Amino acid sequence: MKKLSRFYVIALFAFTLSNVVAQNEWEPEFFTTGYVVTQFEYGDIQNFDERDRYALGLSEAAFSASYLPLENLEIKGTFLYRPGVETVESAIVEAYSTWKFSEKFKVGLGRYLTPMSPTNHYFYAPLNNSSTLPLLINHHLLFPQSFDGVKISGETGSSIKFGYTGIVGEYSTVGHSTTDLLEFQGQGEFVASIGAIESVDYRALGMAVRASLNVNDVFKLGANYFFGNSITPFPNADDRSITDQLDSKQSTVGVDVFVELGKLNLRSEYWYGEKHTNKGGADDYAFYNEGFYTEASLNMGKLTPFVKYDYLDDMPQIPINKYTAGVSFRPIFQTLFKAEYGYYAFNTSSSFKEMLTSVDFQDNVNLIILSAVISF
């Protein structure tokens, strides 16, 4: 209820403002869009029953509405469902109002997808050539999915543009653990490969900033920084069945680049993060996380073949390398078909593998995914 009341306050603020400020010839605008994704998945996940290695069903659905009561005021909300989303509150991925003073300066209040990384733009199925999210997005230990707070942003220039974004507020480190029908991808890749581990959902205060350069939309460069006070779950030293919640500080830096060479699009991102518990002294723990993503796609009009590579090391001693090749086909606006093959390789050290002899640890997983995205 407390969270929902925030959105009511935002909406009330926007509508009050619209009555206070005199309107000129501006006609209020309302725009909606959305999509539904049906997906078939197969994964040779050994600790799944044979029947559970296949899945077919609704894998994603989203609806977005934007309202502009004034020329400089936008109110927007986006709802998104995925298999790991279990509450209405989790389904509200965006809900905000933004006042545009100029192209160089905009201020917003509400909930935003973390505006640092362009890979957050892969968050929605029609924007993504692939059926799967980059590991940087569906794992949340490097930076959070969303922020609730205050955002400023702006851009200047014409053919060469400089942009900035800053957001401060509250975030949740994990909104969901898995993002697909097999309940394998996302934070759950580790779950499936070694056994059940509870995901943690908790809120913390933080900030994120981004600076970007855009040259004629054919070359883009970005630099990102995230900082937050968070909590690290850790087994109690005296009783391993108890999970302690240790106060921590977390920081992450990232760089991203996009290049368009004719019909070929290339994009890459690299992220490095640290998390330190701050009890002080010998009881402190430090975690180091690293992630890399790169994709090459060929724009052939309605057909877009692509290859991509993910690397993520956010679970100590179990880094993931993921290789994906696929194709997307959009014959008309309303339909987008995707097909891909993904190969997960869990590169643990041999000594760590020896520690896991009591459980069946799977070094690699093959995934095949077919999707149909219907847009409106």
Residues that bind another protein (CB under 8 A): 25, 27, 29, 31, 33, 62, 64, 66, 68, 74, 78, 94, 103, 112-113, 115, 121, 123-124, 126-127, 158, 217, 330, 332-334, 375
CB 211 within 8 A of CB 223: yes
Task: Pick the closer one to another protein by CB: 39 or 328.
Answer: 328
CB of 67 to another protein, least distance (A): 9
How far is C-alpha 266 from the geometric centre of its chain's CA atoms? 19
Task: Pick the closer one to another protein by CB: 30 or 323.
Answer: 30
CB of 96 to another protein, least distance (A): 9
- Residue 241's CB is within 10 A of a number of other CB atoms, namely 6
CB of 369 to another protein, least distance (A): 21
CB of 127 to another protein, least distance (A): 5
Task: Pick the closer one to another protein by CB: 113 or 312.
Answer: 113
3-state secondary structure of 88: helix
CA triple 288-290-294, angle to 5 deg: 180
Phi, psi dihedrals of residue 120, rounded to the nearest 5°: -65, -15
Return d(Cα 298, Cα 266) in angstroms, integer. Answer: 9
CB of 88 to another protein, least distance (A): 20
User: Do you know the residue count of the chain?
Assistant: 376
Contacts of 39 by beta carbon, 8 Å cutoff, 6+ apart = 55, 56, 57, 58, 59, 60, 131, 180, 181, 369, 370, 371, 372
Task: Pick the closer one to another protein by CB: 153 or 193.
Answer: 153
CB of 66 to another protein, least distance (A): 5
Return d(Cα 96, Cα 118) in angstroms, integer. Answer: 19
CB of 31 to another protein, least distance (A): 5
CB 177 within 8 A of CB 84: yes
CB of 217 to another protein, least distance (A): 8
Q: How far is CA 345 from CA 55, 204, 207, in A?
A: 21, 32, 33
Task: Pick the closer one to another protein by CB: 43 or 169.
Answer: 169
Return d(Cα 10, Cα 17) in angstroms, integer. Answer: 11
Task: Pick the closer one to another protein by CB: 43 or 115.
Answer: 115
Task: Pick the closer one to another protein by CB: 22 or 332.
Answer: 332
CB 153 within 8 A of CB 166: yes
Task: Pick the closer one to another protein by CB: 123 or 346.
Answer: 123
Task: Pick the closer one to another protein by CB: 200 or 374.
Answer: 374
CB of 183 to another protein, least distance (A): 25
- Residue 178's CB is within 10 A of a number of other CB atoms, namely 20
Return d(Cα 272, Cα 290) in angstroms, integer. Answer: 5
CB of 213 to another protein, least distance (A): 16
Return d(Cα 275, Cα 175) in angstroms, integer. Answer: 19
Beta bridge partner(s), residue 344: 322, 365
Task: Pick the closer one to another protein by CB: 147 or 361.
Answer: 147
Helices (H) and strands (E) in the chain, counts: 5, 16
